[in-house]
Structure 1
Amino acid sequence: MDDLRRAIQHSSEDLPISATSALRANINLMNRLSTIRDQHHNESVINDLDLHECSSPDTILYRVLTPEPFSYEDALWDDLKAHLRVKEAFENPQNNAIHCGVPKPFNYIPKTNNTWWERNMSFFPTVHDSITLPAMTLASERTPPLPTIAREALINNQCAAEYRQFAAANPTNRDCLARKYLCRRHMKTTPSPNLTLRNFNLHLDQMIELKYPIGNLATAIGEALAVIHRLANVDAYDIEFVLGSETDSRYKHNVLSTLKPSSDQVVAMPMYTDIEHLLAVKSERHATRLWVFDFNLCHIWYQDTGINHPESLITHLVEAFSEDDPYYPLPLMENALEHGLWDMFSNSHIRKASEALQARDPRLACLPQKFIDGCLAGDGESPEGNWSWSP
């Protein structure tokens, strides 16, 4: 299984494609998608999940998977199953304070859905040479990119002065998501005039230079991983944590509901105040937000496994943790700062996981601590073969 996972990771073309057409998710789509979780490919259900004649051009992300080899075609279906579990776990009322988002899954389109592809093929721009459409496709909410002020800070930090104007004007840099590497430090290089902020790797020392609250980040990632493990029952294998923005508040006719001003605030406004302008100003001040996505290599585990085979489960979860280690603080670090980040991560993970397990079989209560102990013991083998960070 591990060999297959690694083959999928390195051989598949899992590429993001933006539809140029205006597309909008049906508001009932999530409810209907939930009915197919953990079922086989039910064509009668899936064909009903159609995004045709929708609006919102920049809020939907399409991911397609190359059809060769054939055995890789299940990857996006696996992604959908795990994605739905994580989304439902994050929306559980007991997690109302979790500081991490997961994009909404909108649609799964098999290559055999001729009706959908006939309607929508023309909406797609030219794609990678290795992709042949129709193909297995997953549609989800596009993670909102970092706001302008954050992009400017990255450009000022990463670019020499003579390159900054060029980088700021580069339209691709508007699609900025920052991968947060809490266990890696950046290798200093000569500044490049071709800085790209799309899928930017932001290392620990860079976050320190930018005065980013890395302690809050370690805590948020620890909580998110706890919910993924204990409420979603997903192993979190090869998931990604990135920094983007809060979900965009777009104009939906009811401006007052979007802004939520109090009656006293409205009374204090000058007569004829342009309320819609206030909405536009607010939308330009997005807060940054941690997001998690990319579940195509994840597996779902079941409660009986945790009860009857806890050691095997812990070994597997620790292995998944070590495979994804750039995002997490690591244990047994000599540097005081990194040691402190591990403490914040592990403490928040145990606390949130214990909360998640309160309503479950009490025999599962020991698993969060066993997971952290396994990470400390290095039960899972990291890509570098040890717990040291790599530059």
Structure 2
Amino acid sequence: MEVFSNIHQDTFERIGQGFCGTVWATTRGGSTCIKREDGGPGRSLNNEYQVQTLINAWMADGTLAGGPSVPSCHHLLEKDDPAWHTSRILDRFPEGYEPCNAMISEKIQPIAEQGRRELIYRYCPPEIQQQILDDRKNQHCLVRPYLGRRRRHAQSNSRCRFFSLRNYSLHMDQVEELSLPFFEYARFMARALALLNWELRIDGNDVEFVLAAPRPGQHLGWESTHIGRHAMWMLDFDCCRPVMESDEGVEQIVRAFWRNDPYCPRPGEMGVDEHLWEAFAEEYRQVGLEVARSRGAADVEEGQKLERLVNRVLERIPETKGVYVKGY
């Protein structure tokens, strides 16, 4: 099968794990990864494949219209697909693994070694820094920028005994300490969600934003003294659902916003955090209204309706602070 031609004839190692399942890549690196549906119940790689394929078809140059990059989705490998055996896919997993639904997609390349070392030296307990540096698992470093959460004061002044660079959560106070461009990050997130919600009519439920290496050959992203060249990526669409352009759809979008991890700025804070929310909201409004105006060129009433819904989302998010709790 041609889709497997870029997967080296090498064993797979686990580079990530989430509720939906585990993520694997070859020990030699490469540009392809495999996400297995071997996690908790209620998650669907088929749904993720369909949503990600839709986004890929709409994107230009692998980015979401001036926002984050989104990995290319290559193939959905079902549990009973003969390729598990004929292409020797299963043979490259550790002993005991069985075929399951799996998605073959572009691998997001990790933060460069410079950035990994900076995170370790700043935030890892000194007594385990060398251990973390030597652990191959920590080479697979994707950084989750939590612009909507700061570390608790006690937590920020004491280093946790456990430390891992896999899906490292970088809180807003750390983003500031590293002099990273958080206003630009916020606008990228806002643009991505507005396009998902109104152009593609997807609620954006449980999507992730990560900082990682730019796609090879693309001159996108930011240059940081501390973490090196990096770009923003958006991934994990298995919980996304279609959204209706209605008041019920507005509530679905708002619920998804609050139940997700705190990537996006939150309203009702103070100082720079409130200004960050305002920048996020303004970008979301601008992109949403651009979609509405485009729709209105063909149907004025439809465009006006969409404008109202875009504005209503930005009214409801502050109104529902503390109402929607993650997981409920």
* TM-score above 0.5: yes
Instruction: Determine which structure has the larger helix proportion and give its number.
Output: 1
Match of 2:291 in 1: 356
What are the equivalent positions in structure 2 for 1:23-62 lying under 5 Å apart?
57-62=29-34
Note closer, same or farther for the CA distance 1:347–1:66 as it changes in structure 2 (3 Å cut).
same
What are the equivalent positions in structure 2 for 1:70-149 lying under 5 Å apart?
72=42, 75-91=44-60, 96=65, 98-126=66-94, 132-149=97-114
Q: Tell me by how many angstroms 1:65 deviates.
A: 1.2
Match of 2:193 in 1: 225
Match of 2:21 in 1: 14
Q: Tell me by how many angstroms 1:235 deviates.
A: 0.5
Normalised by the length of structure 1, the TM-score is 0.68
Match of 2:260 in 1: 324
Note closer, same or farther for the CA distance 1:358–1:123 as it changes in structure 2 (3 Å cut).
farther
Note closer, same or farther for the CA distance 1:314–1:348 as it changes in structure 2 (3 Å cut).
same
Match of 2:164 in 1: 196
> Contact between 1:237 and 1:321, CA under 8 Å: does it hold in 2?
yes
**d(CA) in 2 for partners of 1:78, 1:124:** 26
Match of 2:135 in 1: 170
Note closer, same or farther for the CA distance 1:323–1:192 as it changes in structure 2 (3 Å cut).
closer
The structure whose Rg is larger is 1
SS at match of 1:297: coil
Q: Tell me by how many angstroms 1:207 deviates.
A: 1.0
**d(CA) in 2 for partners of 1:219, 1:291:** 13
> Contact between 1:246 and 1:289, CA under 8 Å: does it hold in 2?
yes
What are the equivalent positions in structure 2 for 1:244-259 lying under 5 Å apart?
244-249=212-217
Match of 2:241 in 1: 299
State the Cα deviation string for residues 40-87 of structure 1 (Å, max 9, x = none): xxxxxxxxxxxxxxxxx4221211113986xx4x70111011112222
Note closer, same or farther for the CA distance 1:108–1:212 as it changes in structure 2 (3 Å cut).
same
Q: Tell me by how many angstroms 1:289 deviates.
A: 0.6
State the Cα deviation string for residues 242-265 of structure 1 (Å, max 9, x = none): 11110124xxxxxxxx99xxxxxx
> Contact between 1:19 and 1:125, CA under 8 Å: does it hold in 2?
no
Instruction: Determine which structure has the larger strand proportion and give its number.
Output: 2
> Contact between 2:247 and 2:309, CA under 8 Å: does it hold in 1?
no
Note closer, same or farther for the CA distance 1:119–1:372 as it changes in structure 2 (3 Å cut).
same
> Contact between 2:75 and 2:104, CA under 8 Å: does it hold in 1?
yes
**d(CA) in 1 for partners of 2:158, 2:86:** 48
Structure 2 residue 181 is matched with structure 1 residue 213? yes
Match of 2:318 in 1: 376
SS at match of 2:209: strand
SS at match of 2:312: helix
SS at match of 1:291: strand
Normalised by the length of structure 2, the TM-score is 0.80
Matched AA of 1:17: W
> Contact between 1:146 and 1:288, CA under 8 Å: does it hold in 2?
yes
Match of 1:275 in 2: none
**d(CA) in 2 for partners of 1:93, 1:190:** 40
Matched AA of 1:338: D
State the Cα deviation string for residues 279-315 of structure 1 (Å, max 9, x = none): xxxxxx97211111101011023xxx31xxx111101
How many residue pairs end up in the alignment? 293
RMSD: 3.0
* Greater RCO (CA < 8 Å, at least 6 residues apart): 1
| Percentage of matched positions with identical amino acids | 23
**d(CA) in 2 for partners of 1:337, 1:329:** 10
**d(CA) in 2 for partners of 1:200, 1:159:** 11
Q: Tell me by how many angstroms 1:325 deviates.
A: 4.5
Match of 2:271 in 1: 336
SS at match of 1:287: strand
Q: Tell me by how many angstroms 1:181 deviates.
A: 0.9
SS at match of 2:30: coil
Q: Tell me by how many angstroms 1:150 deviates.
A: 1.6
The counterpart of 2:247, out of the listed 290, 302, 311, is: 311
Match of 2:8 in 1: none
What are the equivalent positions in structure 2 for 1:63-74 lying under 5 Å apart?
63-66=35-38, 72=42
**d(CA) in 1 for partners of 2:62, 2:125:** 47
> Contact between 1:76 and 1:296, CA under 8 Å: does it hold in 2?
yes
Matched AA of 1:365: E
> Contact between 2:85 and 2:91, CA under 8 Å: does it hold in 1?
no
Q: Tell me by how many angstroms 1:205 deviates.
A: 1.0
Structure 1, unmatched stretches of 5+, are 1-10, 23-56, 250-257, 260-284, 386-391
SS at match of 2:44: helix
Note closer, same or farther for the CA distance 1:380–1:294 as it changes in structure 2 (3 Å cut).
farther
**d(CA) in 1 for partners of 2:241, 2:61:** 20
Note closer, same or farther for the CA distance 1:286–1:182 as it changes in structure 2 (3 Å cut).
closer
**d(CA) in 2 for partners of 1:160, 1:68:** 32
